[in-house]
Each structure stands twice: as C-alpha cells, then as structure tokens.
Amino acid sequence: QVQLVESGGGLVQAGGSLRLSCVASVGISSFTAMGWYRQAPGHQRELVASISTGGMRNYADSVKGRFTISTEYAKNIVYLQMNSLKPEDTAAYYCKGARWPVGDYWGQGTQVTVSS
C-alpha cells in the first residue's frame, strides 16, 4: 500500500520561492527513482525533476538552475525547491515513485500558481 502525499503548493508572485514536499508511506530507497511532474490545464503532464536511489538527478531544461530535487531518507520525504518562479511554472505538481518494472505510484497533486 504505497501512498505519496504532496504538500507545499500555493500562490506566489513571480520571482518567489516554494518548497514542495512528497511524503511516502514506504522507504524512499525502495523506489528505482522518484520524480516531480507538473500538468497545466490543456497540457500534457511533463517531467520536472527526478532522482534515482543512487542520487542521479535530472531536470527539465525549463527549470534547470531554478529547481532542486532532494531527499530526506530518514523521513521518507522528497522535496522540490522552486526558486525564481515564473508564471509559466503554474501547474498542478505531482510526485511519482517508480518501481521498475513493477509500476509507478502517484500522489494526488498540489497546486502551484505564480502571478505575474
């Protein structure tokens, strides 16, 4: 019974910062990788950032230098630190835990809205 719960979203002005949290009901190390995705209305869900159990990180080009994904293993938490937010970052953000080849697990999402 894997559960992922996101929090930390909200309304911020352009240039501001938010830190999203994803709390897993199981150990983070049990996943092949974890990641953050986002989906804006009328758009496909896209990868924002991911991190493997080995610590390898991957970022979408649009967020490189602004967003940082990290983990706190002892608390089963994956963070997404978002700095220098832009209106185009507005979306619902989802946490995903991947257990290849078993399957993926998704959180319920948290809304991030960036005003101009």
| Residues 10, 116: Cα–Cα separation, whole Å | 14
pLDDT computed for residue 53 by the predictor? 83
| Residues 80, 36: Cα–Cα separation, whole Å | 7
Compute the chain's Rg from CA coordinates.
13
Q: Which of 105, 83, 80 is nearest to 93 (CA)?
A: 80
Ranges of residues in the chain with a pLDDT under 50 are: none
| Residues 33, 102: Cα–Cα separation, whole Å | 12
pLDDT computed for residue 26 by the predictor? 93
| Residues 2, 54: Cα–Cα separation, whole Å | 21
As a whole-number percent, the residues of the chain with pLDDT over 90 amount to 94
pLDDT computed for residue 54 by the predictor? 84
Does 101 sit behind a cis peptide bond, omega within 30 degrees of 0 on the bond before it?
yes
